[in-house]
Structure 1
């Protein structure tokens, strides 16, 4: 039933008490001194210690205190021939479960051990309950966090606290390539972080099983991988880094926290989808003006800090009003959608294409000076000129565009001025031959007030 360490310097007592306890099914180890008791405890484990209070080279209080200090899950029953109150009080205050006075009847000893085991089981259940409550509260904090940076901090701290990991790496998977690092805790230095990420990310794959990665670079050669799965989707990974083998008994906590992380990542993805809708044009699904101003603010700040460059293209379709008048607004809307596809096909993925309003478009070309922007603008102009719009629908419409080019910091370092200069350059073409590209200049005529408020261009 239980493993019991019996400590008594009297051989007769050891034999008698040992027989009592073995008779009801317990496994008993009997020793006669404090050093032997400490040695036996070191090679345990034991469930209960039964010790005499009077021992050579000390007393049973030393056994009691040593047990409680180094083996807190072990209960202690004290037996003594001293029928006094003070030793009993000291023993109970020091953590003894029972205090028995000799002579001890077999049924009394058995009952005392039984109560000690019951106490131990109750304390273990309470400790487990506290761990479960703590785990539940921690998981709730993770799953309800809707800020990406806070999610990284909260999750890393939770995994370290619950699993004893030396460091944690969090990855987010989007199904389009290698998982990207979401956050880390416990790693000293960016070089170590970069080395580990480059070594780990290709090895994650699409496995949905917890597993251990071996032979990692740096001070933590082993990592326990816990996939973050929500429903049918693999949303990320938690990597718990250890200098040696991962401890036993952490699978339940690790799996639970990983599921909470997956739920949080799912919620973040849904929020991002809603935010994307707020920045998309309903008709063309290009970005809208709201997003243009947001990204321009970021690009200006970044370029100022890094002495970088970028350019804006302002486009307006030529004689678009005649398309609406001749073919109707439904055809005009379809043409605008096709124009958005043509435009995106002429620029890089990292550039930002925007429907500015009506038949006007703006393109932000990252890391591009006026010379490079002029080449892109001319490519767009030629592509639009040679394209036949709505050919599949039976219309095969010809179209052209005027494009204005303005660059940061060549023409200005102000966001509003940059957009205005690109607009003025475009308007110069509208007043001339059309189907042309112009680069910004300080003396260009301003566009008429209210022109951008018109639903369609001319």
Structure 2
């Protein structure tokens, strides 16, 4: 969102004398936007049509008097400044106006220099009070952002950040979309202010069916149309305007907080507070990334630099819960190098470790970033394929088998090795619904592939009951 130039203060001048109106307009037009009205009723209509900072009104007018106009303004526009003009015979009325909340009064006939000074002083005080209020709001926002400090998971940062943003802006509907991979669409979300049915429908649409490109949101902006509105409409959610607040990590985290609004437009002070929330959320996200990077080192296999079995077990539990929630499939590949002991015996364990590392690189190129590749132990590897049924998993397994067979592995001293793998495949929920069942069946299917001659694949469907 680009900053708009500051507009001149709008002043509504009310006087039944055309000469007085022209005099006031001439005195103020160099630094104010002036609208003149011949009666109080016209002034109220002008205020309804467009907001103003100041009303300058004569006290004695036909119809509604200046005192009555002041009472209406104080009731309907409590933040509006008011200066009264009075003749020398009606000073008592001017004093009464001050008691009712007028900022100042001037005697008629008005002197241009004096009028300009009073208006400049009134507007300067107004700006100072507005700046103080803005600073109080921003300090309160900074204080509220302390809730982000203990957040050590990206999902928690986005959820807490969304809550803070909605509370800071006094809005009630919003959602967060975020991801952890170098892809442009989200794989996680948080929703506030929607029913369970609406949230479920939005998740299905915004995450799966019509995903929003998160990388396309690079700065805080107010949207009135575009892909986000289209996706919301697809989910049956309407909004006149959406405030998009991107939150970026330094490494792999990326996401956007969205605030929906139908009635009250977002103003510059709210955009400023949104920037504060975004800044603190990004700092929390950086801390979460560092924390998770350190934590993940405990889940990385030292030889191959892919995940180890400890991480695999946790990842499988997470993906099975996700598949259960969204009624999707996932498949597990269990693979083992054929006769790998001969490699260690003939070429040494250093060459064997190098071959395992090269194999892990080959496997990583055969699967997606959203999948999980782990060294299960020894020369055994496991791959969790998300949103993948049996037929697709068998195609991936065959691609892996063929790629490994065609790869020349480093055999040391300028030589090369030929390796093959045997693979077993099990699919959720077709073959099993728990981590233990899927790993056991994929392992048994892999051993059946070995028993059938190695360098082949077998699914759990082929196992004897």
TM range (shorter): 0.5 to 0.7
Asked whether 1:292 is paired with 2:312, we answer yes
Structure 1 residues 338 and 258: CA distance shift in structure 2, 3 A: same
**Larger-gyration structure (1/2):** 1
Using the TM superposition, name which of 123-132 and 360-369 deviates more: 360-369
Structure 2 residue aligned with 1:390, among 410, 435, 442? Answer: 410
Task: Return the alpha-carbon distance in structure 1 between the equivalents of residues 361 and 86 of structure 2.
Answer: 89
Q: CA deviation at 1:330?
A: 1.7
In the TM superposition, 1:98-109 aligns within 5 A as 98=104
Equivalent position of 1:277 in the other structure: 297
Task: Return the alpha-carbon distance in structure 1 between the equivalents of residues 31 and 368 of structure 2.
Answer: 76
Equivalent position of 1:127 in the other structure: 133
Task: Return the alpha-carbon distance in structure 1 between the equivalents of residues 127 and 392 of structure 2.
Answer: 75
Q: CA deviation at 1:313?
A: 2.5
Contact 1:235 1:262 in 2 (8 A): no
Equivalent position of 1:63 in the other structure: 69
Contact 1:160 1:166 in 2 (8 A): yes
Task: Return the alpha-carbon distance in structure 1 between the equivalents of residues 154 and 406 of structure 2.
Answer: 45
Task: Return the alpha-carbon distance in structure 1 between the equivalents of residues 393 and 28 of structure 2.
Answer: 93
In the TM superposition, 1:20-419 aligns within 5 A as 22=27, 34-35=40-41, 37-39=43-45, 48-49=54-55, 60-71=66-77, 72-77=79-84, 91-92=97-98, 94-98=100-104, 116-134=122-140, 136=142, 146-156=152-162, 172=178, 176-180=182-186, 182=189, 189=198, 201=212, 205=216, 214=225, 217=230, 218=233, 219-220=238-239, 235=254, 249=268, 253=272, 256=275, 260=279, 263=283, 266-301=286-321, 306=327, 310-311=331-332, 313=334, 315=336, 318=339, 320=341, 323-344=343-364, 352-364=372-384, 367=388, 389-391=409-411, 393-397=413-417, 415-416=435-436, 419=439
Per-residue Cα deviation, 1:260-283 (whole angstroms, up to 9, x for no partner): 255555555555544543332121
Task: Return the alpha-carbon distance in structure 1 between the equivalents of residues 393 and 307 of structure 2.
Answer: 20
Equivalent position of 1:449 in the other structure: none
Structure 1 residues 141 and 91: CA distance shift in structure 2, 3 A: farther
In the TM superposition, 1:413-432 aligns within 5 A as 415-416=435-436, 419=439
Contact 1:75 1:120 in 2 (8 A): no
Unaligned runs of 5+ in 2: 1-7
SS at match of 1:286: coil
Contact 2:186 2:211 in 1 (8 A): no
Task: Return the alpha-carbon distance in structure 2 between the equivalents of residues 223 and 319 of structure 1.
Answer: 58
Per-residue Cα deviation, 1:95-141 (whole angstroms, up to 9, x for no partner): 233478x8999799888667644543432332333344355556776
SS at match of 2:416: coil
TM-score norm. by structure 2 comes to 0.62
Contact 1:226 1:237 in 2 (8 A): yes
Q: CA deviation at 1:289?
A: 0.8
TM-score norm. by structure 1 comes to 0.63
Task: Return the alpha-carbon distance in structure 1 between the equivalents of residues 421 and 214 of structure 2.
Answer: 49
Structure 1 residues 239 and 250: CA distance shift in structure 2, 3 A: farther
Task: Return the alpha-carbon distance in structure 1 between the equivalents of residues 415 and 180 of structure 2.
Answer: 40
Structure 1 residues 191 and 309: CA distance shift in structure 2, 3 A: closer
Q: CA deviation at 1:375?
A: 8.7
Structure 1 residues 34 and 146: CA distance shift in structure 2, 3 A: same
Unaligned runs of 5+ in 1: 445-458
Contact 2:15 2:37 in 1 (8 A): yes
Equivalent position of 1:448 in the other structure: none
How large is the RMSD of aligned CA atoms in angstroms?
A: 6.1
SS at match of 2:275: helix
SS at match of 1:396: strand
Contact 1:313 1:364 in 2 (8 A): no
